[in-house]
Structure 1
Amino acid sequence: MFVDFREYVIDDKSNARQALQKLDALSSKDSRTLFIINEEGKLLGTVTDGDIRRGLLSGREISENVNLYMNRKFKFLREDQINAEEVKLYKGLKIHLLPVLDSKERIVKLIDLKQVQAIVPISALIMAGGRGERLRPLTDATPKPMLKVGDKPIIEHNIDRLIKYGVEDFYISIKYLGKNIQDYFGDGKSKGVNIKYIEEDEPLGTIGAFRLAPQIRHEHILVMNSDILTTLDFEDFYKHFLAINADMCVASVPYSVNIPYGVLELSDDLHVTSLKEKPTYVYYSNAGIYLLRSKLRDLIPAEGMYNATDLMDDLIRSKRKVVNFPILNYWLDIGNQQDFLKAQMDIKHLEL
């Protein structure tokens, strides 16, 4: 998703011939666009083969400065003002590489819009410290998050899907055989993201490690279990969270219960008020995926076990807003042998 922009930049003292040579070196790439910068690194414009061709046809010389050929009306994002709707607009315009600029107009990264579903400005905490008792003996030598579903570990499916939604800051909470996970992902640079690890000396529950996450860059953070397979649309999840102005949004799985008999509806004094024939009731089960305000970290106790359900209870008691987001896409919690086998079959048909 994030591209090494150094091979796509050229300084403003170069001529058109040099620009063409550099563009030719990009012939194996999906995009043949150069970003022209000055000596301070400020982005001045862009140039493509087509720009140079049109300039030559209008009478310019190939030895002339590349600035004479460049497009000054380029699209870009501000590092501190990334907007999901703006990204969607640029995808619709078929823009391939989109520069992200800092306050001094310097490129800090290039986003490959062909590789992203959206840009969701959040950090992510993935809980990966569990023992996986119900999956033994598979987890005797391999931590549950590293069990392969298809051609890669469960946790990697989740990381790669989040990357498609523009997430680049990851925290992974580890305990049981955690070094296996660290050795596999390292600092995340191989995927173009940043990964930091939170080592649990003792089990901290399903969200207790959140209090140990350092330097959370974004206002909001996604917390999820590592042993989930899902096609959840994280952009829709995030937009729902913002629209309701929630403190915490809990993803859920709708679960229908069919009653094969007529059900009496009763008043407090046991009078029958109505009869429902073979009704279906829908309940919402916790999916192990949460969006919350990063500042809620301060509410988590400094020591001991603390679960996401504890945080929900505390927020509800203090009249904070906790909301539900039903997952209507695919979702599977790989908690036992049967579900693990199901995942091996399902992955053949999923687009994660």
Structure 2
Amino acid sequence: MKAMILAAGKGERLRPLTLHTPKPLVRAAGVPLIEYHVRALAAAGFEELVINHAWLGQQIEDYLGDGSRFGVTIRYSAESEPLETGGGIHRALGLLGDEPFLVVNGDIWTDYDFARLRRPLHGLAHLVLVNNPPHHPLGDFSLGESAVTEPEVNGDALTYSGISVLHPALFEGCQPGAFKLAPLLRRAMAGGQVSGECFGGAWIDVGTHERLAEVEQLLEARR
């Protein structure tokens, strides 16, 4: 199974750190955020990674190189304009192949064991959900016994972690350009084609200076 790290965001809420550094290279405890993912994916047995980038993306390529020093092979999908999550993945499908692949947002920090996702995919997508953080109290999707669905009752939704396994067929009929992933997932949910799990471990969406500080504190506590 291949894995894709989404690394094309500008990270405007992390300015001035991201004025001259792409968000995935912002450091937590001295290590770029994206390096935590690369090392975790390698440890989980993933050998082929795809990384998309846009803002200052050449810096990401210069830092990670071909991935050999991490024990993986990295290929890049450069975007000249922002394509959002769906459009970015769609552009990279040629690098990802015909089989299901793992996707992880480059701007989260987690201790999730990616090896758990190296198993057959039933349907078009499998989502890792987490308990709603303070900055996203209403959540995104509901998790039933057999499928992820749209929330039916206020308060029963969980937050999408930015970790998933997707089948290329999810993007059938899509055209090149910018588009979001969520509408594709909702269409698949309507057909009962999305499974999920709830992860209760460490997970932080590193979108602000305050949450970057949370990661620093967590890592310091684990030393």
**TM-score normalised according to structure 1 size:** 0.54
Q: Deviations over 1:311-333 (max 9, x none)?
A: 2023234x151122111111001
Cα separation, partners in 2 of 1:181 and 1:135, compared to 1, 3 Å: same
Look up the match of 2:209. Answer: 337
Look up the match of 1:290. Answer: 164
Retained in 2: the 8 A contact 1:222–1:289? yes
Unpaired runs of at least 5, structure 2: 135-154
Partner SS for 2:184:
helix
Look up the match of 1:236. Answer: 116
Equivalent positions of 1:153-164 (< 5 A) are: 153-164=32-43
- Within the candidate set 62, 66, 69, 1:190 is matched to 69
Look up the match of 1:223. Answer: 103
Q: Deviations over 1:43-78 (max 9, x none)?
A: xxxxxxxxxxxxxxxxxxxxxxxxxxxxxxxxxxxx
Q: Deviations over 1:103-158 (max 9, x none)?
A: xxxxxxxxxxxxxxxxxxx2111111111010011111111100011121000001
- Within the candidate set 117, 129, 150, 1:252 is matched to 129
2:99 alignment partner AA? E
Q: Deviations over 1:301-320 (max 9, x none)?
A: 22332222122023234x15
2:23 alignment partner AA? K
Residue 300 (structure 1) shift: 6.0
How many residues of Structure 1 are paired with residues of Structure 2 in the alignment? Answer: 203
Unpaired runs of at least 5, structure 1: 1-121, 258-280
Runs of 4+ with deviation above 3 angstroms: 294-297
Q: Which stretch of structure 1 is more off in the superposition, 165-174 or 215-224?
A: 215-224
Cα separation, partners in 2 of 1:295 and 1:349, compared to 1, 3 Å: farther
Q: Which has the higher strand share?
A: 1
Retained in 1: the 8 A contact 2:104–2:162? yes
Retained in 1: the 8 A contact 2:77–2:91? yes
Tell me how far apart the structure 1 counterparts of residues 200 and 173 of structure 2 sit (CA, whole Å).
30
Highest CA radius of gyration, 1 or 2?
A: 1
Residue 238 (structure 1) shift: 4.0
1:330 alignment partner AA? A
- Within the candidate set 302, 316, 340, 2:175 is matched to 302
1:173 alignment partner AA? N
Tell me how far apart the structure 2 counterparts of residues 125 and 349 of structure 1 sit (CA, whole Å).
29
Tell me how far apart the structure 2 counterparts of residues 328 and 350 of structure 1 sit (CA, whole Å).
17
Equivalent positions of 1:41-190 (< 5 A) are: 122-190=1-69
Tell me how far apart the structure 2 counterparts of residues 250 and 143 of structure 1 sit (CA, whole Å).
26
Tell me how far apart the structure 1 counterparts of residues 192 and 180 of structure 2 sit (CA, whole Å).
17
Residue 250 (structure 1) shift: 1.1
